[in-house]
A and B are shown apart, each in its own frame.
Chain A
Amino acid sequence: MKQYIVKRFLQSLLAILGAATVVFFIIRLSGDPARLMLPPEASEDQVAALRESLGFNRPLLVQYFDYLKDMVTGNFGNSLYFKESALQLVLERMPATMDLAVSAIIIAVVVGMTAGVISAYKKNTFIDYLINIWIFITQSLPVFWVGIVFIMIFANQLHLFPTSGNNGLISLVLPALTLAAYPIAPIARTMRSSLMDVLQQSYMVTNKAQGFSKRRMVLKRGLKNALLPVVTVISLEFGVMIAGAVVTETIFSWPGVGQLIMQAVSNRDFPLVQASILVISILYILISFITDMIYLWIDPRIKVQ
């Protein structure tokens, strides 16, 4: 087991190195990163000065290793626009993004799992079909469109919630619902199929023969055993959500990392873009590592393998 944890940990470190490498080369794809970071009207002198100060005139490999060395020591460079540590700026925005992503995943898990359990429990009934149709439809809706429709109905027409910004819990409702709209579907679908599989297992059939009520079987034994695949989907969706928050944050002017990325893109503030993407990727990789550890904890069979 220890071997497995160490292996997974090293894999995660490698993934972080990979993400850092990809970001490094993408920023240099245009050939002249200094030119890229300045407005089109900037003079040649200004470009040369920036190239000098950010070290783009050094050999590529030297730049690459310095960049990795800086990263390890927590130095992600300075924002060109804010003239501050880029990492600091990203970390300041992180709590808002986490608020959003965590509330959204809670909504998605509660709604998705309930829907999945009901639909497996009431298999092939009207309510099962209804849930299936709903899942099918939510998977086809563009997130940003859902957000706009929510604003139109709940903010502009019914005046229940503010349209944008972050003023306490009430302003979190619409963005969280928007971000949760999509992942409900995969969670519900996985829950349904996994629970249906479990209910067909021989120990469940034995339980049935012993005269346990169906409800008790589903809730007490079935659910616990059906949870593993659902955990995977939840963690996967949570990772995607943190990245997908870019769109939701833009619609609702939610002051998180996603909004920061879009601002940095329009300011051509690439050191800040780079830092934001790296931080989110590291988080994304960590989530998948933690999921595997949770797995290890719930499913003792893995320890043996």
Chain B
Amino acid sequence: MKKRLVLRGNWKGIISSGLLGIIFIVTIFAPWFSPYDPYQQSLQDILISPLSHYTSHSGISLLGTDQLGRDVLSRLLYGGQLSLWMSIVSVLFAGITGSAIGIIAGYFGGKVDAVMMRLADIQLSIPSMLLAIVMVAVLGSGLTNIVIVLSITGWVTFARVVRSQVLSLKEMEFVEAAKAMGVPSIVIMWRHILPNTWFTILTQASLQMSRMILLAASLSFLGLGVDVSTPTWGGMINDGKSYIGSAWWLSTIPGLVIAFVILTINLFSDWLREKSEG
């Protein structure tokens, strides 16, 4: 009976975390799971359709090959490694700075709050997609720069959401009590406020994760991603764009993979939000 109850309220959480686990394992261990070398070009095997045999050797290509004869499945797995890694690191950076700013602004209020929130407003006056495009255009499109740009576009949401929660938290009795006992601000923020914002931060992080994957993919699609030969999901869709008449799988399959991953992450965020709302 109890088991069933747990399952009923949490099916979203169970399914999505299970799938996320699989996605992470498969991409992290891409070298073990991918059937071929993602960089191996082969002139005889150009644009082989899914589920057909290679000409140069006896293997089967599950998801076909691209315009240079590279195995699409292998590139998807390696590409996933990079795409997910980029967004995880960016969410971490954005989450840490954003939440810290949100807690500080909310807790101290007054001038500190005003300055930080105006900064956030200023950044929001430029649509994040455009901000990302100019920054990559100026800084150049290496992996590090993409992570920097993604993190910069992400901190504001964390700061705002966390700040609004801190505003109500700091009126709570346990915070008042700690203040009255002379506990230093930094300790109050770290020991009493931060632990109570975890759920908000986590929910926000998973929402931002899907946003970052999409933004990173859009940048690669516009040709502003990491360099062209390195597989990324957005880059693969972009490469396949020129072959949509002859090789449908090149763009379609990576797109479906992105959609599936984001769907899973969104399901997970949905579950987190339901949990936090009780």
Chain A residues proximal to chain B, CB less than 8 Å: 15-16, 18-19, 21-23, 26-27, 29-30, 36, 136-137, 139-145, 148-149, 151-152, 156, 239-240, 242-244, 246-247, 250-251, 261-262, 265-266, 270, 273-274, 277, 280-281, 284-285
**B276 contacts the other chain (Cβ, under 8 Å)?**
no
CB under 8 Å from chain A, chain B span 172-230: 210, 214, 217-218, 221-224
Contact A142 B218 (CB under 8 A): yes
**Nearest B residue (CB) for A242:** B127
- Chain A residues with Cβ below 8 Å from B267 are 136
Contact A30 B138 (CB under 8 A): yes
Interface size class of chain B, counting residues whose CB lies under 8 Å from the partner chain: 35 or more
Report how far A290 CA is from B103 CA in the complex, Å. Answer: 32
- Chain B residues with Cβ below 8 Å from A265 are 133, 137, 224
Other-chain contact of A23, B126, B218, B221, B237 (Cβ < 8 Å): B126
A-B contact pairs, 5 of them (CB 8 A): A27-B134, A243-B129, A244-B127, A250-B221, A250-B222
Other-chain contact of A144, B122, B128, B218, B262 (Cβ < 8 Å): B218
The B contact surface, by secondary structure, is helix
Contact A284 B222 (CB under 8 A): no
B179 vs chain A, min Cβ distance (A): 31
The A contact surface, by secondary structure, is helix
- Chain B residues with Cβ below 8 Å from A29 are 135, 138-139
Report if A22-B139 is in contact (Cβ < 8 Å); known contacts: A148-B241, A247-B218, A247-B222. no
- Chain A residues with Cβ below 8 Å from B118 are 18
Chain B residues proximal to chain A, CB less than 8 Å: 118, 121-123, 125-131, 133-135, 137-139, 210, 214, 217-218, 221-224, 234, 237, 240-241, 244-245, 248, 251-252, 254-255, 258-260, 262-263, 266-267
Known: A142-B255, A247-B218. 9 other contacts (CB 8 A): A26-B135, A142-B214, A145-B251, A145-B259, A152-B251, A156-B245, A274-B134, A277-B126, A281-B125
- Chain A residues with Cβ below 8 Å from B221 are 142, 144, 247, 250
Report how far A37 CA is from B126 CA in the complex, Å. Answer: 22
Report if A142-B237 is in contact (Cβ < 8 Å); known contacts: A30-B138, A136-B263. yes
Contact B138 A27 (CB under 8 A): yes
Report how far A19 CA is from B119 CA in the complex, Å. Answer: 11
In the complex, the 8 A-B pairs of residues with the closest C-beta atoms, listed nearest first: A243-B127, A145-B255, A18-B122, A140-B262, A15-B125, A140-B263, A19-B125, A265-B137
Contact A281 B127 (CB under 8 A): yes
Report if A277-B244 is in contact (Cβ < 8 Å); known contacts: A15-B122, A21-B122, A142-B258. no
Other-chain contact of B129, A22, A141, A246 (Cβ < 8 Å): A246
- Chain B residues with Cβ below 8 Å from A140 are 210, 259-260, 262-263, 266
- Chain A residues with Cβ below 8 Å from B241 are 148, 251
B194 vs chain A, min Cβ distance (A): 29
B38 vs chain A, min Cβ distance (A): 21
Report if A148-B251 is in contact (Cβ < 8 Å); known contacts: A142-B217, A156-B245, A281-B130. yes
- Chain A residues with Cβ below 8 Å from B128 are 243
**Nearest A residue (CB) for B240:** A148
